[in-house]
Amino acid sequence: MKTILSVVLVFATAVSLFSGGTKESKPAETPKTIKFATWGVQEKGTQGYFEGFKSRFEAANPNIRIEWISYPYTQIKQQVLVMGAAKQIPDLIQAERGWLAGMISSGYTAPLDPSIAPEYMREVQPALKEDLSMDGKVWGAVWIYSPFILYYNKELFKQAGLDPAKPPRNYAEALDYARKIAQLKDKDGNNVYGLGITTGNVPVSGACLLSVLFSFGGGIWDTAGTVQADTDANREAMEFLSLLFKEKLNPEGAKLKDLRNLFAIGRLGMYLDQLWGLNGVKAINPGIIPSVGTSGPLGTARSAGKSTLEAHLLLLGKDSKVSKESGKLVDFLTGKEMLKEYLSVNPFLAARTSAATALTEAEPLLAPLKDVAGSIVSVKKHPNLEAAYLELTNAAQAVTVGKGDAKSTAAILDKKLKEILK
Amino acid sequence: MKGSHKRINRNHLFYLMLLIPAFAIVSTCILLPLVKSILLSFQEYRMVGPLENRGKWVGFANFFSVLKGTELPNALYITLQFVCFVVVLEFLLALGTALSLHTGLGRVQAKRKNVLQTLILFPWVTPTVICALLWAWMFQPQYGVLNYLLNRFGLIHSPLAWLVDPSLALASVIVTALWRDLPFMFLMLFAGLQTIPKEPYEAALIDGAGTFRRFFSITLPFLRNVIRTTVLMAIITNFKQFPLFWTLTQGGPMERTTNLSVLTYKKAFIHLDFGMGAAIATVWVFGLVAFALLYTKVFQSEARE
């Protein structure tokens, strides 16, 4: 009896601890939090900018907070996909253009519309809007973009007897220039490469190679949308790569970071890169920047220069409870003011027409690229696009270090792409 | 009698309880992921693509797909080449170094012996990824120190693309693996040599046995158990080698250095097809376990003879 009474008393005491309290007053409005998945806040070069815009946005919007979900660049895609599988997709995601199809097909991203990001949707350049559209919806905002452009060293041009104000306009001219530049030696007696086109085993190299195929009039899909890589145009592009390798004009199997390294130390005359690649060059040798020139994608006799769209996107997470606030952040980040600040970190092009003009005026390197949006070719959105890009790098290596012929390589590439992109 | 029986049971219970924490950790960290991975190999599980298909049971479809294609046989061939070259060269070099140091021991002071041993161990204590990065810089075709030295001594006239040339890439990874793993095998063989008694050698010398006879009839038999264990460890370590391959070449060029680990990683984390990656992992893990059991059985039956 005593035991039962003790238990009842203890239970009653415990319950009473949680049942007391006065009538609650109405709580103050709690700020809404945007969970923003990004790699930028982890990188030394961009960390300051990211922390800066966070402070400014929160100061301008006292009821909105930004919470970083930050991972290194090499891990963020996988981590976001895992979060999506766990139904914890971030509200806003910084993503590469190549990830878009996977995000859409997995159902992790919500479309953008004028009610969410009105300023962006009103001003975005049509070619960029079209590239991110599927089934009549726009699936993300372009934060910064760049086609694969030509960076060249004006000093090396002068040494090779070339006019630094007249970069090559097509691959035939580029070959001619490259041969002249390759006659040079650097101050330590090392050879100088003429034209760098990345063939390393990473997806971004594949995107660059696809841009080269486009410029030669080729690609990986035909006009009907069927995979078709075994074409005369693609073989011609592969023969060009093979020629560059045979004449030792292109560093073997180089990734973009290798090309940036060589360009920074004055051992590479010209190379194809995204605009923000200059950040990598600047980190190695800031002194080379005054010698750097830019030109749009190289073309051929048949076709003007073309490129894939390389972009850092802002994607809205599906079923986000703060999509309006995220849209506000999208408008803020893609606006002229914030992009001009971002320009001090690395060069890029802006998606919104008002910002595009301002940036071109602010940065001399962008002046030759003001009409480059027209060179962008919209690439079909396929979840396995990155795997296809890796096959392109395998094909490039087959005709260069593998010493294979373009005909059989194109046939093998076609077979592999048909399997990957089915 | 009853009392001692009770004491034995209590002791057994006590031993079991001591084992529980270790068993719990092993189950959580090894058994559970292994079982999960095997289950995943029977499912369609792509991280991109329609959510409704994710986790669908597909039976042996992943296995049929993997066995039908050319990627698995190619990766297996690369792996076997790598393991054979690394283990054989590692063993020969480690044994040679251990024998040299052992026979020269009398002339080497203890302090110098310790310094030598520490220097020899240096590559082994360096993390694998750091080793790979060091060698990646040395192998760099345009400004790596290896090409510079070879060019300087007139051995080459143009830079070699060590990690990019399909005919050199695997050899370059093998060299890196040798540099990394040789010290451990050397240490084990050297320790084994130190335990061999002097008397059989003295008796053999009296009987007129030459150097090679003494080596094959005395040294190797005494080292048998050490050789068995270290070679098995080397085979397993190199069979599942991933950081070296991934850091140096990412499986390229043209998949000439895509071993089984790299293939598994690519399928799971690059192509984001976890089901296929798990199927590949299941195939070669069980193959490796079967090999290890067979290897141990062969050595044991030889020992009994």
Q: Is residue B296 part of a domain?
A: yes
State the pLDDT at residue A14.
55
Residues A290 and A407 occupy one common structural domain: yes
**How far from chain centre, in Å, is Cα B271?**
26
- A106 closest CB neighbour out of B51, B143, B161: B51
Give the Å distances, CA to CA, from B268 to A45, A79, A317.
31, 13, 24
For tokens 């290194």, what's the residue?
Answer: A72
A chain contacts of residue B165, beta-carbon cutoff 8 Å: 252, 401
Q: Is residue A9 part of a domain?
A: no
Q: What residues does B39 pair with on adjacent strands?
A: none
Q: Is residue B80 part of a domain?
A: yes
Backbone angles phi, psi at A65, to 5 degrees: -120, 150
Q: Is residue A185 part of a domain?
A: yes
**Interatomic CA distance for residues B6 and B3, integer angstroms:** 5
Q: Do residue A401 and residue B249 have CB atoms under 8 angstroms apart?
A: no
**Interatomic CA distance for residues B240 and B260, integer angstroms:** 7
Minimum Cα–Cα distance from A393: chain B residue: B254
- The CATH number that applies at residue B298 is 1.10.3720.10
Q: Is residue A217 part of a domain?
A: yes
Task: Compare A268 and B292 and report the one with higher pLDDT.
Answer: A268
User: How many angstroms away from the CA of B166 is the closest CA of chain A?
Assistant: 6
**Interatomic CA distance for residues B280 and A191, integer angstroms:** 44
Q: Is residue A374 part of a domain?
A: no
Q: What residues does B42 pair with on adjacent strands?
A: none
Minimum Cα–Cα distance from A106: chain B residue: B49
Residues A167-184 as b or e (16 or more Cβ within 10 Å = b): bbbbbeebbebbebbbeb
Residues A302 and A163 occupy one common structural domain: yes
Residues A320 and A337 occupy one common structural domain: yes
State the pLDDT at residue A289.
95
Residues A279 and A174 occupy one common structural domain: yes
Q: pLDDT category, A22, cuts 50, 70, 90?
A: low
Residues A208 and A326 occupy one common structural domain: no
Q: Do residue B47 and residue A78 have CB atoms under 8 angstroms apart?
A: yes
Touching A: B residues 232-251, CB under 8 Å? 249-251
Domain count across chain A? 2
User: How many angstroms away from the CA of A154 is the closest CA of chain B?
Assistant: 22
Give, as one character, the DSSP assignment of residue A73. H
Domain count across chain B? 1
Q: Is residue A13 part of a domain?
A: no
Give the Å distances, CA to CA, from A96 to A39, A310, A313, B194.
11, 7, 6, 59
Q: What is the largest CA-CA distance in chain B?
A: 86
**Interatomic CA distance for residues A143 and A333, integer angstroms:** 7
Smallest Cα–Cα separation from A365: which of A188, A146, A181? Answer: A146
CA torsion, ordered A6, A7, A12, A18, to nearest 10 deg: 130
Disruptive mutation site among A201, A249, A250, A381 for chain B (greatest number of B CBs within 10 Å): A201
Q: Is residue A24 part of a domain?
A: no
Q: Which of A50-54, A119-123, A202-206, B49-53 has the lowest mean pLDDT?
A: B49-53
By CB atoms closer than 10 A (0-12, 13-18, 19+), residue B244 is buried
Residues A286 and A391 occupy one common structural domain: yes
Give, as one character, the DSSP assignment of residue B106. G
Residues A173 and A257 occupy one common structural domain: yes
Span B204-213, pLDDT tens digits: 999 999 989 9
Span A166-209, pLDDT tens digits: 999 999 999 999 999 999 999 888 899 999 999 999 999 999 99
Could you tell me the two tokens for B240? 């599942």
State the pLDDT at residue A6.
61
Decide if B76 touches A, using CB distance below 8 A.
no
Sign of CA dihedral A160, A162, A166, A168: negative
**Interatomic CA distance for residues A105 and B160, integer angstroms:** 43
Boundaries of domain holding B286: 71-304
State the pLDDT at residue A285.
94
HSE-up of B180 (CA within 13 Å, CB side)?
25
Sign of CA dihedral B77, B79, B85, B88: negative
Q: Do residue B249 and residue A393 have CB atoms under 8 angstroms apart?
A: no
Asked if pLDDT for residue B4 goes beyond 70, the answer is: no
Backbone angles phi, psi at A133, to 5 degrees: -100, 145
Residues A411 and A285 occupy one common structural domain: yes
Residues A398 and A285 occupy one common structural domain: yes
**Interatomic CA distance for residues A141 and A135, integer angstroms:** 16
| Long-range contact set of residues B157-162: C-beta below 8 Å, sequence gap at least 24 | B158/A248, B161/A252, B161/A253, B161/A401
Minimum Cα–Cα distance from A420: chain B residue: B271
Sign of CA dihedral A296, A300, A304, A308: negative
Q: Is residue B36 part of a domain?
A: no
Is the reported ipTM for this assembly greater than 0.90? no
Residue A410 and residue A229 in contact, taking contact as beta carbons nearer than 8 Å: yes
Asked if pLDDT for residue A24 goes beyond 70, the answer is: no
Minimum Cα–Cα distance from B258: chain A residue: A201
**How many residue contacts between A and B have a Cβ separation below 8 Å?**
80
**Interatomic CA distance for residues A265 and A346, integer angstroms:** 19
Q: Do residue A387 and residue B270 have CB atoms under 8 angstroms apart?
A: yes
Q: Write down which residue in A369, A393, A409 finishes a domain.
A: A369
State the pLDDT at residue A16.
59
- The CATH number that applies at residue A414 is 3.40.190.10
Span B59-116, pLDDT tens digits: 999 999 999 888 999 999 999 999 999 999 999 999 999 998 888 755 556 667 778 7
**Interatomic CA distance for residues A175 and A139, integer angstroms:** 39
Q: Is residue B244 part of a domain?
A: yes
Residue A9 and residue A64 in contact, taking contact as beta carbons nearer than 8 Å: no
Strand pairing class (B43-44; B56-57): antiparallel
Residue A170 and residue A354 in contact, taking contact as beta carbons nearer than 8 Å: no
Smallest Cα–Cα separation from A394: which of A198, A196, A201? Answer: A201
Task: Compare A44 and B247 and report the one with higher pLDDT.
Answer: B247
Span A335-371, pLDDT tens digits: 999 999 999 888 999 999 999 988 988 899 999 998 8
Span B153-209, pLDDT tens digits: 999 988 899 999 999 999 999 999 999 999 999 999 999 999 999 999 999 999 999
By CB atoms closer than 10 A (0-12, 13-18, 19+), residue A50 is buried
Decide if B55 touches A, using CB distance below 8 A.
no
Boundaries of domain holding A344: 32-145+309-369
Asked if pLDDT for residue A17 goes beyond 60, the answer is: no
Residues A134 and A174 occupy one common structural domain: no
Q: Do residue B47 and residue A82 have CB atoms under 8 angstroms apart?
A: yes
User: How many angstroms away from the CA of B46 is the closest CA of chain A?
Assistant: 9
Q: pLDDT category, A26, cuts 50, 70, 90?
A: very low
Sign of CA dihedral A318, A324, A327, A328: negative
- B47 closest CB neighbour out of A85, A107, A193: A85
Q: pLDDT category, A15, cuts 50, 70, 90?
A: low
Asked if pLDDT for residue B2 goes beyond 70, the answer is: no
What is the residue-averaged pLDDT of chain A?
91
Residue A302 and residue A217 in contact, taking contact as beta carbons nearer than 8 Å: yes
Q: Do residue A393 and residue B255 have CB atoms under 8 angstroms apart?
A: no
Helix (H, G, I), strand (E, B) or coil at A411: helix
Give the pLDDT mean for A88-109. Answer: 92
Q: Is residue A43 part of a domain?
A: yes
Residues A411 and A266 occupy one common structural domain: yes
- B254 closest CB neighbour out of A85, A384, A402: A402
For tokens 């190999």, what's the residue?
Answer: B41
For tokens 């009770």, what's the residue?
Answer: B6
Residues A294 and A160 occupy one common structural domain: yes
Q: Is residue B142 part of a domain?
A: yes
Q: Do residue A103 and residue B249 have CB atoms under 8 angstroms apart?
A: no
